[in-house]
Amino acid sequence: MRISFGYEITVSHPQPTPMLAHLNVHDSRSPHLLTSDQLVTFPQVPLRQYRDSFNNLVTRLVAPAGQLRLTTSALISDPGTTDVYIPNAAEHEVQELPDETLHFLLGSRYCETDKMMGIAWSNFGHIIGGWNRVQAICNFAHNQITFGYQFARNTRTAFEGYEERIGVCRDFAHLAVTLCRCMNIPARYCTGYLGDIGVPKDPAPMDFSAWFEAYIGGQWLTFDARHNIPRIGRVLIARGMDAADTSITTHFGPSTLEVFRVWTDEVAE
């Protein structure tokens, strides 16, 4: 299958303002691109890219005073299969984990493992099996938080989401990631595109989506605490410890968001 995706973001700044943007498809999906997902700006400004510590592709630019529009429209090939389901994926003892996964056991800006350790072990300590435990955590987060775009707050942490019981997709992911780490299961936060493919159309405006990956059974497997069902057509942009590492745009100065539009649709072959 083929998926058309893109965004249009217009921001304004009172003065020239440096920016960072996680807006390119992740390297793991870039071989599947059928057209370029190059970032285009209006007015045109110089762009420079680098790799961050998680190997995400990041764009650097300086926004001029006034309005700046960022946009792209691209096409990607997708197998049309749902997220991988491996119910016998085993949990690893910490001493057996690969070195590169250990960082994803630690607390981070939005994932306060210290505050949630007791909550995690009291709810999931009795569950045997890596997949079973991660799925139980997804079920818990899915039921704990009520979704609503009106509940969005970019400072909400996993523990606050647990207590307030409201949020958006990033809050579901932060809560699940934190609980996994508390249970010694490496978990990393993901952001990208996820359209309504194979599911009823959501009437709400589309946004970038957040999910997470857990390291069980010797590999990173995708889980989604907000939707809590296997989905079709994820297009990964970035991974990190939490949303602080994968922010779509970061502004080093005052800014105002004026237009925000995202699309992800299956298109005819």
Average pLDDT over every residue of 26-40: 96
CATH of 94-245, one of 3.90.1570.10, 3.20.10.10, 1.10.20.10, 3.10.620.30: 3.10.620.30
Per-residue pLDDT tens over the stretch 72-111? 999 999 999 999 999 999 999 999 999 999 999 999 999 9
DSSP symbols for the chain: -EEEEEEEEEEEESS-EEEEE--SPPTTTGGGBSS----EEES----EEEE-TT--EEEEEEEPSEEEEEEEEEEEE---PBPP--TTPPPPPGGGS-GGGGGGGS-BTTB-HHHHHHHHHHHHTT--SHHHHHHHHHHHHHHH-EE-GGG--TT--HHHHHHH-EE-HHHHHHHHHHHHHHTT--EEEEEEE----SSPPP-SPP--EEEEEEEETTEEEEE-TTT-S--B--EEEEEESSGGGS-SEEESS--EEEEEEEEEEEE--
| Domain spans in the chain, listed from the N-terminal domain onward | 2-79+248-267, 94-245
Confidence bin at 269 (pLDDT 50/70/90)? confident
Q: What is the pLDDT of residue 202?
A: 87
Confidence bin at 19 (pLDDT 50/70/90)? very high
Q: What is the pLDDT of residue 203?
A: 87
Average pLDDT, the chain: 97
Confidence bin at 204 (pLDDT 50/70/90)? confident
- Determine the topology of domain 2-79+248-267 in CATH: Immunoglobulin-like (2.60.40)
Per-residue pLDDT tens over the stretch 163-188? 999 999 999 999 999 999 999 999 99
